[in-house]
Structure 1
């Protein structure tokens, strides 16, 4: 199966995480900039609408002041008073009243052409400065008199229309108030000022373009002033919905446009600005372009940075992998050069120390194997003491000469079995039961030589008989026990005991002979290995080589007399 690169996967994941972070930051910045720009656009245009509202409010107040000046003119009041006393109205009086009203209107040079004045006395006589924006005065008098009853201020009424001389349509609103004597408050008629809607849209027309439009609506959303006259008297439903939905905000979004409005104080009217959202958010395009360019640059730089870092990490790892491959192929002379990076420097130092340690252990293992083979050679060559062979053969000849053929035959049987095992066995480890069988042949020969001099008892746990032990390690211990035990001039009892403890095999060989002093024990373990005979130290070193440094034999004083040798072996099955 093809292996995948962990470094590549990690850096791809890291790259993806960084790109997600860049995208998130870019999107957050974009949305924040969008919010800020929208607030700035709303604030700037709200300030502009506030100025427009103040200007329109002032012009409407000027019209109301104009109406008040006409309504309170003493000459007009006097002429209307004569008419109310029953005197007929002469043409001269009509012209005089109309002249006075025209004089007031023309005192407002900037708006004079946009205002018509109509005064209706209580007898229905009408005095007009112009008929360009005329209406049905009789109907107006009936409606407005009821509305203006007991009122001394002006009232502004919605947009009306009239046909002009050219066949076009005039749009105007009316400022209406009672004509009352200033002191007596006697009512003498009704004053109507028809104000052309142009008075309103002159304030915003210069600001109108393809991306921005204005309108003035009343509290119900009915359009009072608009550049497009087809929209006049229509209801701006989106404004009504927004105004009812949120009284705290002065803007709303509808059909891709930003609508901002501001109230014209005292009249219940609103000036509404409609801005193309695309045009209003034009500065956001520059930010969007900057964010895209910056994001692309970040992606490019992070990609390049990750590639450089990945190569810097991959190069030492590749070197380490190659060196490990060489090591697996058997090259133990390799070394990794030290790195300038602390982490890889520690790895290279550890790897070089590992190679050094492996070489040291191999060298030590070779030396141990050499020592082991020397000990085994010494052990195998010295298994049968030459004196033992000579004495055994002499005993066999003696039995033959004495005519004790059965004894000679038995002795020769055990001796041949002993030689066959010694000369044919090449296994380092044998089962304990096989080692005991070898001992029984050796003990049988020794008993035929030293009749009634010693006995051997085997106290072996059943679970130890199949344990694997180094071959020929018990015979030298038994031989020493017999040899030194004969010096005690009494029956020697040799006990061989085997048991398991703590997952290790313990074999003890005890006797009731003359024993071994502590000085002799120290001398045994301090002597160098002899190549011409097998001794206790030989057995001890062989166990340590085959089982490990924590294993071997110990010598103790046996109670009440004699000695005891304990072999600690690794438990193998």
Structure 2
């Protein structure tokens, strides 16, 4: 498992702590600046809304004054007195009253086109300055009278609309005033001023843009005036929600927007401004860029400083590690130069002494291992050869006892060829073709012992015949296949196959005998089993000693029956 560097880990932790501190300071600064800028934006926009609200309030008062001037006009009162006998108004009276009302309206030249006057007397006669806005006076007269009974003599009624000839809607609100004699307080009717919503919108329309939006709403959040006329008579839900939760404290935030409200005195309306937070906090972008640049600079500086310090500490340790790696790779002559630092100087001296001691012990161990390996190989070879000699001599003895001297002579001939090779201190490795010749002599001997009991087939790829393999590794496998695979009245076929795969040689010896259970296969690789199976185990260990742990012998169950032994050798 790859281990982590302690120095690197410590300095990374220190770097992270410093970055967290820098990030915390930057975040705190950012949030403080955000709150300060937000307060400034709220204050500036509140001041602006106050000015707009004052202007709207003044215009509403002007409308109320206009209503009062018309309602108290003596000429209008006199005309209504003359017609109070129950008679319908004649054309002359109608034109007179409408002319007086028009004169008052046109005295306000800036708003004259935005106001219509409608007077409804007690007889139900209606006097109008314009027919562009219908107020349905007759139907609403009782409602207006009732609303004016307990008031101050003048009321502002909710927004209404009418369908224009151009296919759209115009919106207006109504100002109602009793028409009465100033002295006698005699009631002669109701005056309605229909005021176009544009009168309100003109006060803020020039300030509306993509980032700013304005609404005039009543206490219930109903939109009375807005640039988008389709929104009029709808509800400003955010205002309603903030008002219902008692959070309407001059401003509130919703959907990345800042809403600032200002009451319009005297009418129960509110002027609400919607400002995009992105635009409101635009100055914060400069602070944000500064904080980002400052944070990056601090990160780079701390990173450079920590890297320099870490390198100063890590260099001697890295040198020691590299030297140890070289030693682990087999370089036994390495030495570490003495360090200028006291701590590392002591380590280098100890390391150099350790290397010298290891060199001495390693040389001594190599000599011991060489002798041990030679003895072990001889032991393995000695275990294989006596096992074979014992079985062969037993067979010859049986032939002699049975009087089959010719067969015994033939067995002695083949046995002498094998014995000459076995007893010689020949090469440890032989060609595969030579090992096969040795097996052929061995097979002849075994066939003479077990006539018509088995058949051995050699199916060897041509490119494998010159492969170098350890001597005497195939004979124990063939012997095991014969002894443990034989069945009564059945021919056992033993196949010897060889093939190359990459840089490895695979030799497969399979038979169709009685087979072997998994328990027996496991038992064969146990060193404590009976001596009759030591030969196979020794072949396996011998291959591993010569080639390494990746090579050796495996035993499988052959299909459809029998046993398969696979030897994996390094090809050379």
TM-score (norm 1): 0.54
Q: CA shift at 1:203, angstroms? A: 0.9
> Does structure 1 conserve the Cα–Cα contact (< 8 Å) formed by 2:56 and 2:200?
yes
State how far apart, in whole Å, the 2-side matches of 1:152 and 1:28 are.
55
Q: CA shift at 1:185, angstroms? A: 0.8
Correspondence list, 1:76-475, <5 A = 76-86=76-86, 89-247=89-247, 249-312=249-312
Q: CA shift at 1:107, angstroms? A: 1.1
Q: Secondary structure at the match of 2:177?
A: strand
Is 1:38 the equivalent of 2:38? yes
Q: Secondary structure at the match of 2:83?
A: helix
Q: CA shift at 1:114, angstroms? A: 0.1
Q: CA shift at 1:139, angstroms? A: 0.8
Q: What do residues 91-123 of structure 1 show as CA deviations (whole Å, max 9, x unaligned)?
A: 222212111111111111110100000111111
Q: CA shift at 1:16, angstroms? A: 1.3
Q: CA shift at 1:85, angstroms? A: 4.1
Q: Secondary structure at the match of 1:124?
A: coil
> Does structure 2 conserve the Cα–Cα contact (< 8 Å) formed by 1:320 and 1:336?
no
State how far apart, in whole Å, the 1-side matches of 2:315 and 2:321 are.
10
Cα distance change of structure 1 residues 310 and 247 upon mapping to structure 2, 3 Å threshold: closer
Q: Secondary structure at the match of 1:127?
A: strand
Cα distance change of structure 1 residues 11 and 91 upon mapping to structure 2, 3 Å threshold: same
Q: CA shift at 1:40, angstroms? A: 2.4
Q: Secondary structure at the match of 1:139?
A: helix
Q: Secondary structure at the match of 1:45?
A: helix
Q: What do residues 451-475 of structure 1 show as CA deviations (whole Å, max 9, x unaligned)?
A: xxxxxxxxxxxxxxxxxxxxxxxxx
> Does structure 1 conserve the Cα–Cα contact (< 8 Å) formed by 2:214 and 2:227?
yes
Q: CA shift at 1:28, angstroms? A: 2.1
Unaligned runs of 5+ in 1: 323-333, 338-343, 352-573
Cα distance change of structure 1 residues 104 and 313 upon mapping to structure 2, 3 Å threshold: same
Q: CA shift at 1:258, angstroms? A: 2.2
Deviates more, 1:161-170 or 1:199-208: 161-170
Q: Secondary structure at the match of 1:172?
A: strand
- What's the Cα RMSD here? 3.6
> Does structure 1 conserve the Cα–Cα contact (< 8 Å) formed by 2:86 and 2:123?
no
Q: Secondary structure at the match of 1:148?
A: helix
Aligned pairs, number: 344
Q: CA shift at 1:87, angstroms? A: 6.1
> Does structure 2 conserve the Cα–Cα contact (< 8 Å) formed by 1:151 and 1:178?
no
Cα distance change of structure 1 residues 160 and 319 upon mapping to structure 2, 3 Å threshold: closer
> Does structure 2 conserve the Cα–Cα contact (< 8 Å) formed by 1:214 and 1:273?
yes
Deviates more, 1:35-44 or 1:166-175: 35-44
State how far apart, in whole Å, the 2-side matches of 1:228 and 1:247 are.
27
Cα distance change of structure 1 residues 133 and 7 upon mapping to structure 2, 3 Å threshold: same
Q: What do residues 300-351 of structure 1 show as CA deviations (whole Å, max 9, x unaligned)?
A: 01111222333455679999999xxxxxxxxxxx9986xxxxxx8xx69x99
Cα distance change of structure 1 residues 260 and 151 upon mapping to structure 2, 3 Å threshold: closer
> Does structure 1 conserve the Cα–Cα contact (< 8 Å) formed by 2:135 and 2:194?
no
> Does structure 1 conserve the Cα–Cα contact (< 8 Å) formed by 2:88 and 2:123?
no
Unaligned runs of 5+ in 2: 323-336, 347-572
TM-score (norm 2): 0.54
Q: Secondary structure at the match of 2:130?
A: coil
In the other structure, the counterpart of 2:23 is: 23
> Does structure 1 conserve the Cα–Cα contact (< 8 Å) formed by 2:114 and 2:198?
yes
Q: CA shift at 1:213, angstroms? A: 1.5
Tell me which structure has the larger Cα radius of gyration.
Answer: 1
> Does structure 2 conserve the Cα–Cα contact (< 8 Å) formed by 1:152 and 1:178?
no
